[in-house]
Amino acid sequence: MKELVKRDLDKIWHPYTQMKDCEDMPPVPIVKAEGIKLYDNTGNFYYDTISSWWCNVHGHNHPYIKKAIKKQLDLFEHVLFAGFTHEPAIELAERLVKITPPGLDRVFFSDNGSTAVEVAMKMSVQYWRNNGKKDKTKIVALDKAYHGDTVGAMSVSAKGAYTEQFSSMLFDTMRVPTPYCYRCPAGKTKGECGTECLSMLESVLKQSSTEIAAVILEPVLMGAGGMIIYPAEYLKGAKSLTEKYDVHLIADEVATGFGRTGKMFACEHAGISPDIMCISKGITSGYLPLAATMVTQEIFDSFYGPVNEKKTFYHGHTYTANPVACAAANASIELFEKENTLKNVENIHSRLEEFLGTVSGLPFVGDTRSVGAVGAIELVKDKTTKEPFPVEERNGLKIYKQGLKHNILLRPLGDIIYFFLPLCVSNEELDDIFKKAQKSIIL
One fold for 2-58+340-440 and 67-337? no
pLDDT at 192: 73
Kindly calculate the radius of gyration of the chain based on its CA atoms and give it in whole angstroms: 22
Q: Are 39 and 30 in contact (CB under 8 A)?
A: yes
Bridging pattern class, strands 291-296 and 104-110: antiparallel
Q: Are 101 and 274 in contact (CB under 8 A)?
A: yes
What's the one-letter identity of residue 388?
Answer: P
Give the integer Cα–Cα distance in Å for 62 and 65: 6
**Model pTM score:** 0.97
Per-residue pLDDT of the chain (443 residues; tens, 9 = 90+): 789 999 999 999 999 999 999 999 999 999 999 999 999 989 999 999 999 999 999 999 999 999 999 999 999 999 999 999 999 999 999 999 999 999 999 999 999 999 999 999 999 999 999 999 999 999 999 999 999 999 999 999 999 999 999 999 999 999 999 999 999 988 887 767 767 889 999 999 999 999 999 999 999 999 999 999 999 999 999 999 999 999 999 999 999 999 999 999 999 999 999 999 999 999 999 999 999 999 999 999 999 999 999 999 999 999 999 999 999 999 999 999 999 999 999 999 999 999 999 999 999 999 999 999 999 999 999 999 999 999 999 999 999 999 999 999 999 999 999 999 999 999 999 999 999 999 999 99
| Catalytic machinery residues | 16, 146, 252, 281
State CA 281 to chain mean position distance.
Answer: 7
pLDDT at 196: 82
The CATH number of 67-337 is 3.40.640.10
Domain map of the chain by residue range? Answer: 2-58+340-440, 67-337
Q: Which CATH architecture has domain 2-58+340-440?
A: Alpha-Beta Complex (3.90)
